[in-house]
Structure 1
Amino acid sequence: MTSLGSDADDKAGVTIRCQDNALVGVTFCDRFSFDADSVHYAVELRAPSLTARVDEVVAWIRDSDLAAFLEELAADYRGWDGERSWQTHDGDLTVSAVFRSGGRVGLTWALRPWPEAAGGWGASVTTWLEAGEQMTALAADVRHFLAEEHQ
């Protein structure tokens, strides 16, 4: 399930919670932009005994964006074979999707800041959502988050 709303600091964000375990989740927050060509935002991963955050993931307007990837997954609610994936231009955020029986989509959200740096780190969580309405809502929430200026 997803929610588009305000956190304690009254800044808009999107939170995705795993339908199997609400302690596993991903949050998009702290969106800002320097120019019309890009959107910057933070991504936080949470799971029992894990918290990871990248403060400045960059989405370039000219590239295929995360919202379009999620919309394609939502449109294929009857399923697909294999794994589909998307990543930011610099590889800080990767999302992999698999379809399982019962109309469930597993989204693995992986953070790996500075992928070329020695001694870098990586973390990932997997959220399970329903292929139909939950994926459609997630795609719409992410599109809204990335497209709108939030106060």
Structure 2
Amino acid sequence: MTSSDVGTGDEAGVTIRCQDNPSVGMRFGDRFSFDEDSVHYGVELQAPGLSARVNEVVAWIWDRDLVPFLEELAADYRGWDGERHWQTNDRDLAVSAIFRSGGHVGLTWTLRPWTKAAGGWSASVTTWLEAGEQMASLATDVRRFLAGEPG
């Protein structure tokens, strides 16, 4: 399940909850931009016993964006074999997707800040969504969020 948080500025965001366990989820929020070439945003992961956040993930306009990746998953609602992957240019946010019988997509969201620093960390959660409508809704919500459009 996804939801666009209604609001402006720091309040706007997209929350994704696992349909199998609503206490597992992730959130895009705190969007800002310094220029026309990039969008910066925070990402939070939540699960029982886990809370992780990266304050500044960067989406570059020239980079392969998350939205087309999510749209491709939604378009392939009948399924696929294997695992599909996407990551930011800085590799601090990565998503892997698998399809399971019954028409559900497992999205594993991984935060990995400071990839080159000693003492770095990573955290992951997996959210399960319906392959068709919920994936299409997620792609639309993320597109609006990254573009700074109201939900």
- Pair in the same fold by TM > 0.5: yes
Deviations 1:32-61 (A, max 9, x none): 000000000000000001000000000001
- CA root-mean-square deviation: 1.3
Find the aligned partners of 2:16 and 2:63 in 1 and give their Cα distance.
23
Find the aligned partners of 1:122 and 1:5 in 2 and give their Cα distance.
26
Find the aligned partners of 2:26 and 2:148 in 1 and give their Cα distance.
19
Letter in 1 for 2:117: A
Consecutive unaligned residues of structure 1, counting only runs of 5 or more, are: none
Contact in 1 for aligned 2:10/2:29 (Cα 8 Å):
no
Deviation >6 Å, runs of 4+? none
Aligned residues between the structures: 149
| Percent identity of equivalent pairs | 75
TM-score, length-scaled by structure 1? 0.95
State the SS of the aligned residue for 2:140: helix
Alignment of 1:138-149 (within 5 A): 138-148=138-148
Find the aligned partners of 1:73 and 1:90 in 2 and give their Cα distance.
22
Find the aligned partners of 1:101 and 1:92 in 2 and give their Cα distance.
30
State the SS of the aligned residue for 1:69: helix
Consecutive unaligned residues of structure 2, counting only runs of 5 or more, are: none
Residue 2, structure 1, aligned to residue 9, structure 2: no
Deviations 1:9-30 (A, max 9, x none): 9611000000000000000000
Shift in Å, 1:6: 3.2
The residue aligned with 2:12 is 12
